Chain A
């Protein structure tokens, strides 16, 4: 069974930094593209970042580009999101996601498996 468990969410002041982690199990981690998607409470979904299976390709939403960095450790079956220069508008639930299937392209953006999320609050 595919499992994705996020951690690291916290209350942080504007301008601060945070690192989110996602521990994966139940599949061959290094074979799959992974993503982060966020959701402001009571609002819609926003894709944040994606990373190819070999980490050779990464991509970001314009709203976080230059402030957030996605990375993965295939030996540890872990995905990370390093968040710097945090803003109040980054407040959201952050979900770790595995693509539905192995993707021949760098990313297919079919969000097949979701963790339960970790909450990030940016406030003074």
Chain B
């Protein structure tokens, strides 16, 4: 199975800050990479698919980048509703594997 390393596991930030979350994969996966947001008590929701495509309705402050085996989610101008846990996931080779999550805290 492809291994995923997501960092950091948690971070503290303030409203208006710019933050980045990174995932590295153990194998080349082209651009088959996705990001999810999970707010407390809720199901995860898809934010970014195929590395950099924003899901319809996702604000432009969320941006995905990367290729190959290193990927980044950047949130520019944190809003109160962005404080949540973020997961990365590879969709290149079964089984699909998620990263361990990054908790973004105030």
Give me the interface of A with B, judged by CB distance under 8 Å. Answer: 44-47, 59, 61-62, 95, 100, 107-112, 114-117
Contacts and interface: CB of A to CB of B under 8 A. Distances in A.
Given A44-B101, A45-B87, A109 B43 contact: no
Interface SS, A side: loop
B96 A44 contact: no
Contacts of A117: 43
Contacts of B67: none
Size category of the B interface is 20 to 34
Contacts of B55: 100, 112
Contact of B91 (A45, A95, A108, A116): A108
Interface stretch (B20-28, B44-52, B69-77): B44-52
Contacts of B34: 110-111
Interface string B31-46: 0001010000011111
Query: 5 tightest CB-CB pairs across the interface, nearest first?
Result: A109-B91, A109-B96, A114-B43, A45-B98, A47-B96
A45 B87 CA distance: 8
Contacts of B43: 95, 114-117
A122 B46 CA distance: 29
B95 A112 contact: no
Contacts of B49: 100, 110, 112
A44 B98 contact: yes
Given A47-B96, A107-B94, A109-B96, 16 more contacts: A44-B87, A44-B99, A44-B100, A45-B44, A45-B101, A46-B98, A47-B95, A47-B97, A47-B98, A59-B95, A100-B46, A109-B94, A110-B91, A112-B55, A114-B44, A115-B43
